[in-house]
Amino acid sequence: MAYEFRLPDIGEGVAEAEITKWLVAAGDTVAEDQPLVEVLTDKATVEIPSPRAGRIARLGAEQGAIVPVGSVLVVIDVAGEASAPPAPVAHVAAVHAGATTPTVTTQTPPAVGVRVEAVPAARMLAKDRGLDLATVTGTGPNGRITLEDVKKTLEATTLPGKSSAPSAGAEERVPLRGLRRKIADHMAQTWSKVPQFTFVAECDMTAVVHAREAAKQGARESGAKLTYLAYVVRAVVESLPEFPLLNASLDEAAGEIVMKKHYDIGIATATEDGLVVPVIRGADRHELVDLAKEIERLAHGARDRKLGLEELTGGTFTITTTGAFGGLLATPIVHHPQVAILGVHAVTPKPVVRDGQIVIREITNLSLSLDHRVVDGDVGARFLYDVIARLERAEVPGR
């Protein structure tokens, strides 16, 4: 008997997920609890195991598709029970994890006038380059033609009246999928819904530079890489209780501002797939060295795609940095439904005036973007200067 396995409720209010990678193919034999597929939901990649042992009769969606909770992921022929075989396909199936050789099956060429199954991006590229999809061998589920199939065919084929070499104005189309699609959707939603403004101020980080220099050896001995970011997080969580509107969200349906009494600080982290925001839970309860350890752990986990959904959701305030490129000024976009995000720029020695004298100090710019529906400019400015004051009086350990 065929068993339809549907996308389960993964939690955190998730209603849909994107198929990012199939770990099995039609015809494969699977064991119970064997990983079937990786799905992306709310920036977390979740591996879903098989609930039954048997043979994969059919994949319910192609890679890149967005499927709602409750829709069929795979159809499994339960071990020992027969099920109708899938329609014959003519292609070499993609090699999946653990396979040593591709599975070769037979295919009946498409009849004249019959629409060839292909993903939209593949169809678009073929049309642009004048390629007949009937000449392409599909390697997707049930023989569906993928974008990579079209590209490989184009590389190996000279089309009538066209050169296979790209022209000077050639372009490449890349499907918007995975984390990049999630980021695009989230940024568009935030930009269209949230009237935001950015307040920028200069911060003298000289005290932090000296304090870090004195403390970093001890931190290293305890397994922590002490960075300026740890000091910024500490200053932020010390200031937020005095400015509760910045540690809040807006419940539009209820018409209420929800001020959070916990301080879960998101740290925007660049990865190969795009920007993700892992969260330091209870950041106000961490000592400086523990903050440094947690920042480093989350950053590595995000880049290695090893963080769980609970580590990527539920932040109350976000901090982002311009990273190795420094820069003079950036205006970060509020991480909706939060109402505030702090941007930290490079710390560099600059000449400044102190007590009528020109001296060299370690200076950075801090940029605070706010949801103007919740936070007024005066409140945001006072918060930022409170954070700056805490950073400028950072103490060297032992003093």
Q: Taking phi first (over 0 means left), then psi (-120 to 50 degrees means alpha), and beta for anything else, what does residue 27 get? A: left
C-alpha to C-alpha distance for 388 and 203, rounded to whole angstroms: 6
Query: Are residues 345 and 330 in contact, defined by beta-carbon separation less than 8 angstroms?
Result: yes
Alpha carbons within 13 angstroms on the beta-carbon side of residue 180 total 7
**372 annotated active-site:** yes
CB atoms closer than 10 angstroms to residue 64: 20
3-class state of residue 369 by DSSP: strand
Q: Which helix (H) or strand (E) holds 233?
A: helix 228-239
228-253 b/e (C-beta count within 10 Å ≥ 16 → b): bbbbbbbbbbebbeebebbbbbbeee
Question: 96, 186, 210, 372: which is the annotated catalytic residue?
Answer: 372
C-alpha to C-alpha distance for 158 and 265, rounded to whole angstroms: 55
Q: Is the peptide bond before 337 cis (omega within 30 degrees of 0)?
A: yes
Calculate the alpha carbon distances from 207 to 101, 157, 390 in Å.
Answer: 61, 64, 10
Give the catalytic positions in this structure: 372
